């Protein structure tokens, strides 16, 4: 694949309609769709066209940052083939409380004791997740029930049975605990919810926990160190337009 990263020269010879993969470092508080829209708009101006296909191969929540692979033009046909890659994350988990959304988007509303927690106990509990697991999908997610996203049903106050899925944890390491926060690195298969892992880790340790922060550090062989900021990428395209 033709990859554009932080070190790639961007010039007027690049044909995004023919297809490129852009390694983007998603900013905090942006949705993945925000990134796609911003880049689509800039590419339409760059090529002087009204339409171009742009997509990605793995959603990041607004409060997560890190690697997002953006596919353009003919490369969007490859997205289904590029969705099964392993992904790695650096997660910051807060113990002693939880939220409805399982991350900082919601307010803390359920609490648990944490005086019994140690780094050793957290490491041991985290290691028990290795391998394939059945994971309950967060109710505040885009997964649909009878054609409607669970997060919409949840916000409407409707009761429903959350869906579950099989996920796989390949490696869990670098657990560093500083009460009440734990920094932990996770390598996992497609479709794993790190928010759900934080919740389940809290249950395993007889307390509550939620995802306080998340960085996606890699997708397959592609690493966050290669990613370019979305504003920087768009600025380079604007400069080409200005100089043309």
Taking only the tens place, the pLDDT of each residue in 129-167 is 999 999 999 988 888 887 888 888 888 888 888 889 999
Residue, of 226 and 82, whose pLDDT is higher: 226
The pLDDT value given to residue 10 = 86
Residue 208: which of 112, 83, 84, 108 has the closest Cα?
112
DSSP assignment string, the chain: --EE-TT----TT--TTT--EEEEEEPTT--HHHHHHHHHHHHHHHHT-S---EEESS---TTEEEEEEEEEGGGGGGGGGGSS--EEEEEEEEESEEETTSBTTSPEEEE---TT--HHHHHHHHHTT-EEEEEEPPSSSS-EETTEEHHHHHHTT------EEEEEEEEEEEEEEETTEEEEEEEE-TT--HHHHHHHHHHHTTS-EEEEEEEEEEETTEEGGG-EEHHHHHHHHHHHHHH-
CA distances, 188 to each of 44, 91, 121, 131, 134 (Å): 35, 12, 21, 9, 13
* Residue 243 in this model has a pLDDT that exceeds 70: no
Q: Which residue has the higher pLDDT, 114 or 83?
A: 114
Q: Could you report the per-residue pLDDT of 15-63, keeping only the tens digit for each? A: 999 999 999 999 999 999 999 999 999 999 989 899 999 999 988 989 9
Give the per-residue pLDDT at 225.
97
User: In whole numbers, what is the pLDDT of the chain averaged over residues?
Assistant: 93
Average pLDDT over every residue of 71-93: 94
Q: Which domains does the chain have, with CATH numbers?
A: 3-83+221-243 (3.30.70), 87-219 (3.30.2350.10)
Rounded distance between C-alpha atoms, residue 92 and residue 103, angstroms: 10
34 is catalytic: no
Residue 153 has a pLDDT of 86
Residue 140 has phi, psi (to 5 degrees) of -90, 75
Query: Averaged over 94-109, what is the pLDDT?
Result: 95
- Residue 242's pLDDT is 57
pLDDT at 244 over 60: no
Cβ density class 46-70: b for 16+ within 10 Å, e for less: bbeeeebbbbbbbebbbbbbbbbbb
Q: Which has the closest alpha carbon to 39: 232, 243, 225, 244?
A: 232
Q: Which of 61, 90, 103, 200 is catalytic?
A: 61
């Amino acid at each position: 694949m033709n990859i554009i990263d932080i070190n790639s020269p961007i010039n007027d010879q690049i044909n995004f309609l023919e297809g490129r993969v852009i390694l983007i470092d998603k900013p905090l508080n942006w949705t993945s769709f925000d990134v796609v829209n911003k880049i689509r708009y800039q590419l339409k101006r760059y090529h002087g066209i009204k339409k171009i296909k742009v997509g990605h191969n793995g959603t990041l929540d607004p409060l997560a940052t890190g690697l997002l692979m953006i596919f353009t033009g003919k490369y969007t046909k490859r997205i289904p083939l590029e969705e099964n890659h392993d992904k790695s994350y650096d997660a910051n988990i807060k113990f002693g409380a939880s939220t409805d959304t399982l991350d900082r988007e919601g307010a803390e509303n359920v609490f648990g004791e944490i005086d019994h927690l140690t780094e050793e106990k957290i490491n041991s509990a985290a290691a028990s997740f290795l391998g394939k697991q059945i994971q309950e999908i967060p109710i505040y997610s885009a997964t649909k029930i009878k054609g409607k996203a669970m997060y919409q049903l949840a916000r409407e106050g409707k009761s429903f049975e959350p869906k579950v899925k099989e996920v796989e944890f390949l490696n869990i390491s670098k657990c560093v605990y500083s009460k009440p926060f734990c920094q932990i690195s996770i390598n996992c298969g497609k479709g794993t919810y790190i928010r759900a892992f934080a919740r389940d880790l809290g249950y395993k340790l007889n307390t509550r926990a939620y995802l306080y922060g998340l960085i996606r550090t890699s997708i397959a062989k592609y690493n966050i160190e290669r990613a370019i900021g979305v504003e920087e990428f768009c600025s380079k395209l604007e400069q080409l337009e200005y100089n043309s």
